[in-house]
Structure 1
Amino acid sequence: MHCVIVIFATLLPAAEPSVQELLDQAVLTGTKKVALPEGRVEVKGKLRVRGAKDLVIDGAATTLVFSDRKGTTWSFDSCRNITLHGFTIDYDPLPFIQGRITGRTEDGNRFDFTVCDGYPGLRAEDSQHYRQAYVFEADQTRWKPWVPDLYPRQVDILDDRHGRLIMGSAPVYHELIQVGDRVVLTLRTGSAIRMNDCENVRIEDVTFLAAPGCAYLGRYMRGDNYYRYTIKPGPPPAGATEPRVLSTCADGLNIAFATKGPTIKGCRFSFMGDDSVNLHGVTFAVLERKTPRELIVGWPYSREQLATVMPPGAAVRRLRPGNYEVLGTARLTAFEPMRERTPEHLKVIRSVWPRDEAGRGTAFRMTLAEPLAAEPGDFLDVPDNNAPGFSIRDCVFEDHRARGLRIMASRGVIERNTFRRLKMNAITVGAEYEFWREAGWVEDVQIRNNTIEDVGRDGGNQSGTAYVLGAIGVFGRTDRESRLPLWPGNRGIGIEGNTIRGCPQAGIFVSAAKDVQIRNNRLEHCFYRPGESAGKGRGLAVSGPIEAQAALDVALEANEIIGPGQPPTKQ
């Protein structure tokens, strides 16, 4: 007898390619469009795109959910002519702790909290990142007015659902923090999207529901870059009964070291843990003077791609230590990183940027077309590296920490935007030379036809170290210990046709500036709680709805002021 054995094989469908595989294949083959899978797509690990050209990544019905909260979630390196369209980004677990204040000491040195159901619990491995906490209203999703950010000396983890903030000193207005208030601790461990050395980028109709740092970080950018996207809190996580009160842990859009500023149009940002938009560059420390035309300068980071955005012919400004007066300029002919850093170089870099890790930093060789009498200890900046030529139009920025716009870039337009319920200032333009050293004196910026409502109710704005004392501010953040007068380095600023409703300090505050036009603005209920100590540590003060200090050639015309010194009846 012969037996026949029949073996049946079950054919299993091939596994769908991962998002990373889709992206890699597109770059390898030169595909022009990647359609992301529809629905909720859980992404394990990170995504990376390198060297893409003429690529559209589309996901109009896609929500990408990331679980990796450390470092950059989705990086783009050396890409040209790329468009991101339509998709949503979220995280599970969320990159923040959300809870309720359950107890406090009367002196404001200790606050106990319980993590809300459904939200991530406290973890020992994350404890080094619990450096700041934010307080929200108990019965509505908004930041609690006047309560400043909390920076605890330590955070005690009692168990995964209970913690304690131990303050180094009691924060101002701590008496306003009550049992039942919402509290959020952010991780700040990385950005959702970071682009390095990219050109001609478009981000359209993308939505960020969360991020462990900035929603978007752009570095070493060139070309025409366009942004129209939304940031807002996502739905409550599974098992939660309370709404999310935070979206991203840091800025909405942060661009630095760019030869051309971005076009930002029609964005809507809310509930971030920091500024809506930050545009800036770098302040260099002079390490050596080789010849009158050859300098060695330093900064506290690795070399990265900085040399790619230092264009020949760009103006290099020599800055006086202390007040950062421009002492001379020369044109750049070459800029390159040096292979070696001497111990003396690193010592100087560490002294200028003490917050950064010791032993870190890069020296660059800077060659100039004309002699520049810069000496070791001086500072330099390069305005053409600060995202010049930007525009921010028709956006809505509301319900978030810090400032709406923090602009250290020149030749820009800020118009027809709406700012509502921001903890600090709505629009700030000027020079950041002291703490972050993001440079630089700005020129030719027009701020017009914006609407600003209920901003500046934060205890930090009334501290003695505050340097912007109004809803719209032109500023120069220079060394506090310097005895040199504040220098009017910001030039050619126009503030026209704006409506400002409700700001406890000035509606418009101008300092460290020359040639400023303030015309046809309407200010309602400003200067109703300016703060006796505000700005005193910097020699600043505010005495009315429109204030100009350390400023020359300021023209005021046809500004309408209603209810000065009187708070709004409804906020």
Structure 2
Amino acid sequence: MLRFIVCVLLAFSSLRADDFRSLVGEALRRGEKRIVIPPGNYQLEPLGSGGELWLLSGLKDIEIVAEGVTLTGTKLMRAISLHRCSGVTLRGLTVDYDPLPFTQGEVVAATEDGGSIDIKIHAGYPRKPYSRIDVVDAKTRFRKKGMPFLWGTKAEMVGEDVVRISLPGIGKAAKPGDLASLSTGQEAGAPHAISIDQCEQMHFENVTVHSAPGMGILEADGEGGSTFRHCRIVPGPKPSGATEERLLSSSWDAFQSKTIRKGPLIEDCEITHAGDDSWSVQSSDFLVVKCEGTHLALSSRDEFTSGVQTGDRLRANVEGPEWKIVTRQVMRREKADLAPDVLTKLEAAKTWDAWKASPQCIVVTLDHPAELKPGDSVYSPDRMGNGFIFRRNHMHSPGRVLIKAGGLMEDNVLDTPHALVICPEVPSGAAAGIEDLVLRRNVIKNGGWFCPAPWSTQAGIISFTSSSSSSSLRDTPVSKNVLIENNILEGGMGPHLIVSSVQGLTVRGNRFVKPLQEAPPETGASFGIPRDKVVWITRSSGVTYEKNKIEELGPFAAKEPVTK
């Protein structure tokens, strides 16, 4: 084997200036199980009309060693796609883009009415009018405190190196002297740097993503059970001709796992300066569009994933009955023999409506009849990423950690995050269930600095909520068997812990340090969530609250800072 590796290295070395993809392909065709790519910076262009720069499909029990290797994408599209693979190890690779999928600069002017701002692009960064803006404090080089949602912006070049961003009121959020990143430079295909699709038992070690047109790493569908150790999603080096360090890593989420059977192990990883959430384990409900005994037609909220599979279980809630899928077929909703009124509701639905769902239907046979009707919804405990482990990771990134599954999160440091959020994020009253979740020995510093959001239930630095309408939290349990233990929450804005709709909750040994030293935002006001509580637990049963400490209580706290 050693002799073979030496020969492969020699062969690769003679061609490394060109492209390693064909060399890896040749080694795979020879049946080799361990492939070593020589160190170097490889500038890769698309091959043919594919949706990615490098496609690895159908591999099983393969190790790819890429220590000292940088894959630099020359087109803003998916860098690597791993499709229907099993037992693949990827070690040491770095992914970046040239040109970058974002630009950055300094706010130099704002109109008198605050409807637009001008940003002078830093030297060495793309002179492109990207419109997704994040306003950055020039001193901290981190998201500006209290920055609002800046959705619906328009961008145009108004000079050789000046971008004008227009949005009513943007001049109140961004002032001359502030910095800004401008992202979502996507040219073709999916925007995520690394996509892991319908795979199982994948192993990433020392893999780094320096930039991405979309997410850094996206894992979707499949059996899951993958591991990510010592991986990094962090800004890369200054581009050629630049004097300013990068403000951004991924344009969207740094890392997301969704609709997988078994959640990942993510250990000793680093995430900094992502454009959206730092890490999330995602799932969704399935809208019932037809039910006749054991025959059920479902429509997913997410049209980009394959959804439930044969053998998966379905539930309406954490306490209700359970069904198992015996057969499965996918078809367009027009072919699923749906009632005319159902089709009308589906076609008329707007974003976040209860009837908003994929145009594809998953038609299944169940192991026993279901008493469901169109408009109900179900979820699958087998497509949530349950069993994840998120351990010893360090994050200095302004987005959330968002959890929609059961698992273990321990010994992590979240430095200045939006929040640690546990929420199904489905339409009000839709099916959801999160069970067996442990949050232990995590340190969260300076959470809650994002903008006020009165319409959101996500009001705590640790926020564990679910809604039944636009103004009320759920009375029935959405979550079961939750342990929040020996965590340290320090500083930040707003309540430290908000919990609702949990059956079987233990909050033990946590330290709430310097809470409510600053005026809290109005987040959660629509739901009656108090702003002056350090801990607020409501609509929950089987609650144990013991050995928790509040240290250096701030002046914005209520006389009774804990309600449980």
Same fold by TM-score greater than 0.5:
yes
User: Map of 1:173-322 to 2, 5 A cutoff?
Assistant: 175=172, 177-187=174-184, 189=186, 190-228=191-229, 229-289=231-291, 291-299=292-300, 305-307=306-308, 310-312=309-311, 314-318=312-316
- CA–CA separation in structure 2 for the residues paired with 1:76 and 1:451: 34
User: Map of 1:493-508 to 2, 5 A cutoff?
Assistant: 493-508=482-497
Q: 1:243 to 1:414 in 2, by over 3 A?
A: same
| 1:155 has 2:155 as partner | yes
- CA–CA separation in structure 2 for the residues paired with 1:498 and 1:384: 29
Q: CA deviation at 1:276?
A: 1.7
Q: CA deviation at 1:151?
A: 2.2
Gaps of 5+ in 2: 1-12, 47-52, 557-564
Identify which range, 44-53 or 485-494, moves more after superposition: 485-494
Q: 1:346 to 1:271 in 2, by over 3 A?
A: farther
Identify which range, 152-161 or 224-233, moves more after superposition: 152-161
Identify which range, 340-349 or 541-550, moves more after superposition: 340-349
Task: Give CA-to-partner distance per residue, 1:94-146, whole Å, 9 cap, x none.
Answer: 101211101113543221111111100125xxxxxx44210111234222111
CA contact (8 A) 1:430 1:441 kept: no
Partner of 2:523: helix, strand, or coil?
A: coil
- CA–CA separation in structure 2 for the residues paired with 1:517 and 1:212: 40
User: Which residue pairs with 2:443 in the alignment?
Assistant: 451
Q: CA deviation at 1:223?
A: 4.7
Matching residue's letter, 1:456: G
2:116 aligns with one of 100, 110, 121: 110
| 1:408 has 2:404 as partner | yes
User: Map of 1:9-28 to 2, 5 A cutoff?
Assistant: 15-16=15-16, 18-28=19-29
Identify which range, 358-367 or 261-270, moves more after superposition: 358-367
Q: 1:363 to 1:303 in 2, by over 3 A?
A: farther
Task: Give CA-to-partner distance per residue, 1:513-556, whole Å, 9 cap, x none.
Answer: 22211110011111234646321223333331111133333221
User: Which residue pairs with 2:10 in the alignment?
Assistant: none
Partner of 1:330: helix, strand, or coil?
A: strand
Task: Give CA-to-partner distance per residue, 1:487-523, whole Å, 9 cap, x none.
Answer: 3311111100001111211111112222211110011
Number of residue pairs aligned between Structure 1 and Structure 2: 526
* Alpha-carbon RMSD: 2.7
Gaps of 5+ in 1: 1-12, 124-129, 320-324
| Identity between Structure 1 and Structure 2 (%) | 25
- CA–CA separation in structure 2 for the residues paired with 1:485 and 1:32: 52
CA contact (8 A) 1:463 1:534 kept: yes
1:475 aligns with one of 462, 465, 470: 465
- CA–CA separation in structure 2 for the residues paired with 1:450 and 1:209: 26
CA contact (8 A) 1:285 1:298 kept: yes
User: Which residue pairs with 2:143 in the alignment?
Assistant: 143
| 1:430 has 2:406 as partner | no
User: Which residue pairs with 1:335 in the alignment?
Assistant: 328
Task: Give CA-to-partner distance per residue, 1:177-231, whole Å, 9 cap, x none.
Answer: 3211111111164100101111110000111111111111111131531012011
User: Which residue pairs with 2:523 in the alignment?
Assistant: 534
Q: 1:350 to 1:56 in 2, by over 3 A?
A: farther
- CA–CA separation in structure 2 for the residues paired with 1:417 and 1:484: 29
CA contact (8 A) 1:430 1:490 kept: no
CA contact (8 A) 2:520 2:532 kept: no
- CA–CA separation in structure 1 for the residues paired with 2:86 and 2:534: 46
- CA–CA separation in structure 1 for the residues paired with 2:123 and 2:436: 50
| 1:60 has 2:60 as partner | no
CA contact (8 A) 2:298 2:363 kept: yes
User: Which residue pairs with 1:94 in the alignment?
Assistant: 100
User: Which residue pairs with 1:170 in the alignment?
Assistant: 169
- CA–CA separation in structure 2 for the residues paired with 1:81 and 1:370: 35
User: Which residue pairs with 1:75 in the alignment?
Assistant: 81
Q: 1:303 to 1:230 in 2, by over 3 A?
A: closer
Q: 1:457 to 1:64 in 2, by over 3 A?
A: same
- CA–CA separation in structure 2 for the residues paired with 1:379 and 1:512: 18
Q: 1:14 to 1:201 in 2, by over 3 A?
A: closer
CA contact (8 A) 1:251 1:275 kept: yes
Task: Give CA-to-partner distance per residue, 1:362-421, whole Å, 9 cap, x none.
Answer: 1111222222211011111112110111111111011x2321x211012x1110101102
- CA–CA separation in structure 1 for the residues paired with 2:240 and 2:555: 45
CA contact (8 A) 1:470 1:503 kept: no
- CA–CA separation in structure 2 for the residues paired with 1:451 and 1:79: 35
Normalising by structure 1, we get a TM-score of 0.86
CA contact (8 A) 1:85 1:203 kept: yes
Higher strand share: 1
User: Which residue pairs with 1:3 in the alignment?
Assistant: none
- CA–CA separation in structure 2 for the residues paired with 1:373 and 1:160: 64
CA contact (8 A) 1:432 1:478 kept: no
User: Map of 1:501-520 to 2, 5 A cutoff?
Assistant: 501-520=490-509
- CA–CA separation in structure 1 for the residues paired with 2:15 and 2:172: 58
CA contact (8 A) 2:447 2:491 kept: yes
Q: 1:107 to 1:528 in 2, by over 3 A?
A: farther
